[in-house]
Structure 1
Amino acid sequence: MTAHPLGNGGRLAAIHGWLLLLPAAVLLAAFTHYPAVATFWHSLFTTPRGNRPARFIGADHYRDLLADPIFWTALQNNLVFAAGTILPSIALAMAMALWVNARIAGRGLLRLAYFTPTVLPMIAVANIWLFFYTPDYGLFDQLRGLFGLPAVNWLGSGDTALGAVIVVTVWKEAGFFMIFYLAALQQIPPELGEAAQLEGASRWQRFWRVTFPLLMPTTLFVLINATINAFRLVDHLFVLTRGGPDNATSLLLYYIYEVGFKFWDQGYAAALTMVLLSLLATVALLKFFWLERKVHYQ
């Protein structure tokens, strides 16, 4: 009888390893993979109502989705929102981290001030900014009035509403991302910057040639989180605009909420959710198979 190549000790080690992974695997399957598969399954059926059970309709919801103008408006708004929040949030977070990492007076208080928006509840943040944006009485219009400028309905105009929501999001997220950059900056050996300085490199050259490349793994992590956040915003819209005016600030997840819980069309909401999951899955694949190879190096 041939002995197992791993031996009893190897088998026990393998079983021990799988047992350690089992709780995480169960949670991942129960709260990530199963809901995704169930959502796709529900997207192939109509929504049950009263005595009328759900009926299999195949890809009809996806065909309706292609002809839905509100879906395309929400998707376009979400792409504009992502473009307006991801890079500005990352750039602002990096700039703040570089500043508070320097030897300046009161940097502890400055770090606290930058991080404070992150710990505030989303609804509280939205209400604060709702006061800022209030026509005539809000902070922004009060400041404009000092220069004789007319009042602006920031959240009630289709030209400014989405931009106003973008500003709130950047203000909320930049402080959170700053913490990661600050931690990364403190891990960079100071000898690298000192060596570049001795070689005659300017401050900008030291940042671009030394600091920035070493921050790329953190930038990748922050980029993925910022992208996910850009497609899951709901809280601010409830308070600030409720998707208006005329769907000017309706984002994809908010539209899914409206379809699923306001109009009670859960089958169509499931199809919309699959579109959102596909977008996020594309981002994840881009991270693991392309970007990650370019930022991790020896």
Structure 2
Amino acid sequence: MNRRASLNAVYGWLLLLPAMVLLIAFTHYPALSTLWHSFFSTPRGARPSHFVGLSNYNAMVNDPVFWQALWNNLYFALGTIPVSIVIALVMALWVNRKLTGRGFLRLAYFTPTVLPMIAVANIWLFFYTPQYGLLAQIGHFLGLPSMNWLGSRRTALPAVMAVTVWKEAGFFMIFYLAALQQISPSVREAALLEGASRWQYFWRVLLPLLMPTTVFVLINALINAFRVVDQIVVMTNGGPDNASTLLLFYIYQVGFQFWDTSYAATLTVVLLAVLALTALASFRRLDRKTHYQ
């Protein structure tokens, strides 16, 4: 019996081995290597890197662009995550009903998801173009003045946020739609027979049943909010005056434009720490309210 149990354990570890190797090679090792390099200087020509301790972190604390990028990213996350999730849920509830052309609606909602972000950013770049863009034409028709959406500090980041919501809401809708289709119609019938209104059914029955999906979508939305770079490069390049610079874009600038790889590693460590702590806190808080079937 012990021999059989040992063989089963070995067999189980062998099944896990490919996934473990990929996880260690492409996740854990790069993270630890990044942490290690953050304590060294950037090699310059014939001058090798040397241990500098916490100097990179001290420079980061005194870097105003870093704080601006971090604040922008928090504002970006708070502005896009709730809106994307709410729109995704509303769309899923809508296309889950028996409607004429339901398949076309599902396709229309999901289409932005399959488009490359570079293509999406260029499409919206045309929409935002002053004088000639779609929004400018609509504003001209309504008698409104033309606005430089991407050239103003006040509107540049919200304009990029709108693009992100437009692209991600359809992706999150698919998960909610799949979860809705797993809920038996008898649950709704039973709630209505008990005298529950449609709002009470949604708030007290349907929403708790969708909490596992909400936790999954929330964690993914959180990760996506902190790895935004494509639309920033295409639409604003971080401007004007760093008003739309996000943390990952700043890491890209420091690492590949300024070629300060050690400082970029320091910023990456902070990004990983923010993501890990925020995701862990969100998961622990929501998991207590989640009921798994």
TM bucket (normalised to shorter chain) is: over 0.9
Q: Which runs of 5+ in 2 are unaligned?
A: none
Q: Write the mapping of 1:273-292 to structure 2, written as runs, cut at 5 A.
A: 273-292=268-287
The alpha carbon displacement at 1:296 in A equals 2.9
Asked if 1 retains the 8 angstrom alpha-carbon contact of 2:140 and 2:146, the reply is: yes
Higher mean alpha-carbon deviation, 170-179 vs 10-19, is at 10-19
* Aligned residue among 159, 167, 176 for 1:172: 167
- 2:197 corresponds in structure 1 to 202
* Aligned residue among 241, 244, 249 for 1:246: 241
- 2:49 corresponds in structure 1 to 54
Asked if 1 retains the 8 angstrom alpha-carbon contact of 2:212 and 2:292, the reply is: no
Aligned partners of 1:59 and 1:165: how far apart in 2?
A: 34
* Aligned residue among 119, 142, 145 for 1:147: 142
Residue 22 to residue 287, structure 1, CA distance change in 2 (3 Å) = farther
* Aligned residue among 26, 34, 39 for 1:31: 26
What percent of counterpart residues are identical? 68
The alpha carbon displacement at 1:204 in A equals 1.1
Q: Write the mapping of 1:1-298 to structure 2, written as runs, cut at 5 A.
A: 7-297=2-292
Deviation per CA, 1:203-234, whole angstroms, max 9, x where unpaired? 11111111111011000000000000000001
The alpha carbon displacement at 1:288 in A equals 4.8
Residue 288 to residue 147, structure 1, CA distance change in 2 (3 Å) = closer
The alpha carbon displacement at 1:291 in A equals 2.5
Aligned partners of 1:111 and 1:259: how far apart in 2?
A: 41
The alpha carbon displacement at 1:287 in A equals 4.6
- Amino acid of the structure 1 residue aligned with 2:124: W
The alpha carbon displacement at 1:284 in A equals 3.3
Q: TM-score, normalised by structure 2?
A: 0.98
The alpha carbon displacement at 1:239 in A equals 0.7
Q: TM-score, normalised by structure 1?
A: 0.96
Deviation per CA, 1:120-163, whole angstroms, max 9, x where unpaired? 01100000000000001010011011121110000000000000
Tell me the SS of whatever aligns to 2:231.
Answer: helix
Aligned partners of 2:150 and 2:232: how far apart in 1?
A: 10
Matched length: 293
Deviation per CA, 1:45-98, whole angstroms, max 9, x where unpaired? 111011000011011000110000000000000000001100000000000000
Tell me the SS of whatever aligns to 1:64.
Answer: helix
Over the residues paired in the alignment, what is the CA RMSD in angstroms?
A: 1.0
- Amino acid of the structure 2 residue aligned with 1:96: M
The alpha carbon displacement at 1:290 in A equals 3.6
- Amino acid of the structure 2 residue aligned with 1:187: Q
Aligned partners of 2:2 and 2:254: how far apart in 1?
A: 57
Aligned partners of 1:127 and 1:295: how far apart in 2?
A: 39
Aligned partners of 1:152 and 1:166: how far apart in 2?
A: 17
